[in-house]
Amino acid sequence: MTQKKVAIITILTLVLSMTFTILNPTLALTNEDQKQKAETLLKILDNGNISILEAFRKLDAQNITLSNAETKYDEGLKHVEEARRLVNEENFGEASIEAVEAMQKFEDTLKILEAASPVEPTETEVTAEDAISLKANITRAIEYAERLENLTAQARTKGYNTPAIETTLSEVKQHLEKAARELRTLNLDGAAEELLLAKTLLDELKQPFDKLTNLVKASNTEKYLEAAEIRVSVTKANITLSATLTPEAKEDAITALNNSEASLANARDSIEDNNVDEAIEDLEEAKKWEEESNRAISALAGTPTQVAPTTDSVTRAETTSSITASN
């Protein structure tokens, strides 16, 4: 039961009991009794006022404004002020009546606020939301584990040592399967525990996988470098021997290829220093110079297709080994 509902029930109960006592003319009340009842009613109103202000605060936080509730509340405050004035004048009977009027206004205010407040989710709804969240997390973990399995299989076919990784991935898969089974029976705690075990193992795999990825990347990068070195060398020879290219076209194309060779040499130095990322940047630079060489030939040669080995070499290298495929 919410705090506001408790406040409403408390106020209603006390209002009914006090109203009956105050308005029942057959009951003879002493002045002290009337004073005590009036002061008690004012204390109840103070507690009710706290509940109302808290309810207003929560709705304000959600940018919800209820003018009708504010009106009822202001009317209640006026009755409270009048009740306090009458108590100060020792007119306790009239003060009690004003207090009861204030309670009625506060009750109306709380009802309006309660109706406008967002409905709290039931236990079933909370369970459903938790189950949906767990399902999504388990699914993501399964998809991630499958990607790692695929990468491991590719690395194994290339001769890399992967048994330890495969064993851990097998354990991950078992925990995820258990998590899915527990979820189907709505054993959310059991599912969450199995998922946590799987995630812990996946975290442990991060370092060996990073190492394996770097090895594969370095291997692919070196293969691309070797293909590029052959390609540039062959292209330079073809351009030099070409009988159809103008001297200007040859000079521009050879200059671009010399720059490409320099970038390839830098890439090889980076690989030897185990700096694969810099090697990839150098290879990209080398490829740009190759493209510049092709543009020089295309711009000045009468029949650029006669230097076909340049284009063929690029195509074969990109088909068999790609930098981006290794990332």
- Distance from C-alpha of 231 to C-alpha of 254, rounded to nearest angstrom: 13
Q: What is the structure's pLDDT at 38?
A: 84
Closest Cα to residue 170, out of 201, 139, 143? 201
HSE (CB half, 13 Å, CA atoms) of 298? 9
pLDDT, residue 168, reads 92
Q: pLDDT for 193-248, tens place per residue?
A: 999 999 999 998 888 887 777 777 777 888 888 898 899 999 888 888 887 888 88
Q: What is the dihedral of CA 285, 289, 294, 296, to 10 degrees?
A: 140
Q: Is 323 helix (H, G, I), strand (E, B) or coil?
A: coil
pLDDT tens figures, 97-149: 898 888 888 888 888 877 777 666 667 767 788 888 899 999 999 999 998 88
What's the pLDDT band for 93 if we cut at 50, 70, 90? confident
CA distance 267 to 275: 9
User: Using CA atoms in the order 35, 36, 37, 40, what is the torsion angle rounded to 10 degrees?
Assistant: 120
- How far is residue 2's CA from residue 107's CA, in Å, rounded to a whole number? 15
Question: CA-to-CA distance for 94 and 82, rounded, in angstroms?
Answer: 9
In the prediction, which pLDDT does 21 show? 43
> Model-level pTM?
0.43
Percentages of the chain per state (helix, strand, coil), in multiples of 5: 85, 0, 15
**Long-range CB contacts (< 8 A, 24+ apart) of 3-6?**
3/51, 3/54, 4/51, 4/55, 4/110, 4/113, 4/114, 4/117, 5/114
Residue with tokens 């399902």: 135
Give the contacts of 319 (CB within 8 A, at least 6 positions apart). Answer: none
Q: How many residues does the chain have?
A: 327
In the numeric block, the tokens 């406008």 are attached to 116
